[in-house]
A and B are shown apart, each in its own frame.
Chain A
């Protein structure tokens, strides 16, 4: 059964550095998402992406964040200048219609 994959599984970075989190959605899916879960808190929506553009973003998704689908298979989340409070588990998800399939997540730690 096809799965959403994410790399890396863990990333440690210094505050102010740029990070790129990578996701490979399921190949025939059309809708792509990023969520995050700060330790001990609920899963929060960051952004949705459809037809090569952002379809919705949350207030968390400020100018420091960007998403790209550079080559038709990868879906990336870039954080330009990381802050301590960006430390979280970041989940990618994709869907064809309705039900979203989630990747295993990338645990980001900002020091």
Chain B
């Protein structure tokens, strides 16, 4: 079965804390993985993506993610979060070439000043 799972549904951090959000995928073939962010009241925005090459991917706003094939993981990290990072974060995998994205359940992050 093809699936993407996120185990942390709610995360609360203080500003300047480090962040790691887990994402695991379960499907074979070519692996294309994404992290999207949804700020309150806004639409889904792409943070970063992995298609191939360097497994450590750098995205916007200081986020990065590491693709670890042996662990089927693509965890999102940020060394020091800000209040403005409060949002919902979605891990997703591309399935079937240019077809559907399979989303994880999302992680709601709250950053307190």
Residues of A at the B interface (CB closer than 8 Å) are 31, 33, 35, 41-45, 48, 50, 55-56, 58, 91, 93, 95, 97-105
Of A43, A44, A58, A98, the residue contacting B98 (CB under 8 A) is: A98
Known: A42-B104, A42-B105. A105 touches B43 (CB 8 A): yes
Set of chain A residues within 8 Å of B102, measured between Cβ atoms: 45
In residues 72-107 of chain B, which contact A (Cβ within 8 Å)? 90, 92, 94, 96, 98-106
- Complex CA–CA separation, A44 to B95 (angstroms): 13
In the complex, B16 has a CB within 8 A of chain A: no
Of A35, A98, A101, A104, the residue contacting B94 (CB under 8 A) is: A98
Residues of B at the A interface (CB closer than 8 Å) are 32, 34, 36, 42-46, 49, 51, 90, 92, 94, 96, 98-106
The reply to whether A43 and B103 contact each other, CB–CB distance below 8 Å, is yes
Known: A42-B103, A42-B105. A95 touches B44 (CB 8 A): no
The reply to whether B43 and A91 contact each other, CB–CB distance below 8 Å, is yes
The reply to whether B49 and A99 contact each other, CB–CB distance below 8 Å, is yes
Q: Which 10 pairs from chain A and chain B are nearest by CB?
A: A45-B100, A104-B43, A102-B44, A43-B103, A42-B105, A56-B99, A48-B99, A42-B103, A31-B98, A102-B43
The reply to whether A99 and B34 contact each other, CB–CB distance below 8 Å, is yes
The reply to whether A43 and B90 contact each other, CB–CB distance below 8 Å, is yes
- Complex CA–CA separation, A37 to B4 (angstroms): 16
